[in-house]
Chain A
Amino acid sequence: MKIIVCIKQVPDVTEVKWDENGSLIRTGLPSIINPNDKNAIEAALTLKEEKGAEITVVSMGPPQVEEALREAMAMGCDHAVLLTDRKFGGADCWATAYTLGMAIKKLGHFDLIFSGVEAMDGNTAQVGPEIADFLGLPLLSYAEAIEVGEGTVKIHQKLGDLTRVIEGPMPALITCEKELNVPRIPRMDLVFECFEKEIKVLGMADVDGELENFGLKGSPTRLRKVFSPKRAKAQVEFLEGTPKESSQKLVEKLHEINAI
């Protein structure tokens, strides 16, 4: 079985800062593999151990994404492909999915594509489904369990309080939820081996496609503004009295503001 895993390198912060143009200030921030994408890697590695598989991990981004790809190989992925080109810069979900889709076509035969449900720095959850759309694949999204059969794949799809079981023919694309598994730590011997492996680097000329579909040029969405919402300072009022009295005062207050 051949599996492709799409990953993204993201800054390791919960509160990122942007410059005046709305771009992320990445300087000084450590980078990590997007957490959901680690679930995707783990899902592929679990299948590899259970049924045997060859895993290629693919990522689009600047040259420093090499670090994330090597870490994926240290976890157990077999091959890595880096899509890097200045013309890929500024891509939105559509252009990113287009670029990844074109590259995957170039890589040849595969049985499954895994990606994380969403990236922690964008939270769009669009790229995985759009790759499936580009490649004309069945999409099995929000997977919290995966079963591979003979030519078919079944997932437990997380839908809020409900779980839906869906099945589709392979090849297919699956987006992975954090509930799917606990990603493993890289193995120390593979840490050393991953630096001996070659990473395939592809630019725009290597993946074919239409020039106007890549990067900022190919992105239908435009970022207008990014800002941190201002936090209003709250007024603190102490409700005096016994617990019963203060509880009654609290209920009155909540009624006043139509909270209850």
Chain B
Amino acid sequence: MDFNLTPLNKMVIKTARAFCETEIPAIDAYMKEHNDYPPYLQEIFAKHHMLGMDIPKELGGIGADNFNLILIAEEVGKTASTCMLPFFMNNSVAETICHWGTEEVIKKFVPPLCDGTAWASMAFTEPNTGSDPRALTLTAEPDGDDFILNGTKRFISMANKPGPGVFFAKDLSMKGKPFDTTAFIVDKMSPGITFSGHYELMGLDGADTCDVFFTDVRVPKANILGRQGKGFPILLRWIAGERIQQCAATIGGGQAALDESVKYGNQRVVGGFPMGYMQGFSWMLADMKTRVEACRLLCYKTVKLQDEKNKGFEAASSELKVLTVPLIQEVCRQAVQFHGSYGYSKEYKVEKIFRNAMHLGVVASSLEINKTIAGMTILTQK
């Protein structure tokens, strides 16, 4: 077993780090001022050819793999910038459309997600459900060559930005069948779609998360992703990949929390010598480092499984989240504690990292639902 990164992996990290140092300060400054993403954000990622990582070159992608995408995610995560969300979303939705879509759908929707002219979204959550397809209330009723969609989606990222979103709806033409969830690729600027204002979140400053209201929204039948009534497996596969990216970014945040603590521990002088050398603090650093390292290794193992393509990685990505949520959240809490009162101040980066880390346990599937997936898989696998 080789734990070493290849020269390619190392250059990907170096390049991602250079991207973060060069581009992200201006992006964050814009987001702080406008409480939203810069309208040209995806073009910035596209200019650096960071979209469509796992998409074939002929569709405008890079033709790389998810492992290298994870390395980038870690570096972006270290910055604690919310701009990581649209970056992940365009990558993961483009891959999902490529995996499940018809040739027509792929050619129509994937290239704009790679060249940065479109913003992707993925929308399952509703006011009364985040993981149960039977509880969906967004309905899709057939009408000629179209479906008419009515209802509400909740907590949707990048929903009010132009581009395609994959929306999961109760397909009324499948009434009486055991599975009635169908995935539709919807142009988010379609007539009949309106949005709420942005939710004020605990972390992820500047995120544009909002509700989406459908009133008689017409969507062509050709925009169905996968098969009718078979939408839920699309969500499960997508969210399994999204979880890995989300964990990688949060592990990056944990690493940054550790790095900030090491810096502070060397700089802050107490009783004539650097604070970090006191046993209580050095033990905290040891705890933080080993937790980050353990999560990173499981993350790499999980994404390698995803890259094997022919094996399921859904349960493995749930296991990753089961490990990462408590460990990295604790690392970030320790970093705040390490900084004392300064850690509770917005002057210090660890405050933002801590707030961001809290999202991992509840966004893109909760810790508890992942424990259920992982636990049930252990019980039922042969």
Interface residues of A (CB under 8 A from B): 67, 70-71, 74, 185-192, 194-195
Contacts and interface: CB of A to CB of B under 8 A. Distances in A.
B49 A188 contact: yes
A186 B49 CA distance: 10
A191 B11 contact: yes
A191 B7 contact: no
B18 interface: yes
B11 A70 contact: yes
B48 A188 contact: yes
B7 A188 contact: no
Contact of B7 (A185, A189, A195): A195
B48 A195 contact: no
A185 B64 contact: no
B15 A74 contact: yes
15 contacts: A67-B11, A71-B11, A71-B14, A185-B15, A185-B22, A186-B18, A187-B49, A188-B62, A189-B57, A189-B62, A191-B12, A192-B62, A192-B64, A192-B68, A194-B11
Contacts of B53: 188
Interface string B44-87: 00001110010001000011100010001000000000000000
Contacts of B62: 188-189, 192
Contact of A188 (B22, B50, B57): B50
B7 A70 contact: yes
Interface centre among B19, B48, B50 (most CB of A within 10 A): B48
A74 B48 CA distance: 11
Interface of A is mostly: helix
A53 to B, nearest CB: 21
B22 A191 contact: no
Contacts of A190: 49
Given A192-B62, A192-B63, A185 B18 contact: yes
B286 interface: no
A185 B53 CA distance: 17
Given A188-B50, A189-B62, A192-B63, A67 B15 contact: no
Interface of B: 7-8, 11-12, 14-16, 18-19, 22, 48-50, 53, 57, 62-64, 68, 72
A71 B8 CA distance: 10
A190 B8 CA distance: 11
A57 to B, nearest CB: 15
Contacts of A189: 49, 57, 62
A184 to B, nearest CB: 9
A194 B8 CA distance: 9
A245 B15 CA distance: 56
Contacts of B72: 188
Contacts of A67: 7, 11
B48 A185 contact: yes
Contacts of A71: 11, 14
A188 B8 contact: no
Contacts of A191: 8, 11-12, 15
A40 to B, nearest CB: 18
B63 A188 contact: no
A147 to B, nearest CB: 26
Contacts of B7: 67, 70, 195
A186 B15 contact: yes
A185 B75 CA distance: 15
B47 to A, nearest CB: 8
A23 to B, nearest CB: 25
Nearest to A183: B18
A67 B18 CA distance: 16
Contacts of A194: 11
Contacts of B18: 185-186
Top-8 shortest CB links A-B: A189-B49, A188-B49, A185-B18, A189-B62, A186-B15, A187-B49, A195-B8, A188-B50
A49 to B, nearest CB: 13
A186 B8 CA distance: 13
A74 B16 CA distance: 13
Which of A70, A187, A188 has most chain B Cβ within 10 Å?
Answer: A188
Given A186-B18, A189-B49, 17 more contacts: A67-B11, A70-B7, A74-B11, A74-B15, A185-B18, A185-B22, A186-B15, A187-B48, A188-B12, A188-B15, A188-B50, A188-B72, A189-B57, A189-B62, A191-B11, A192-B64, A195-B11
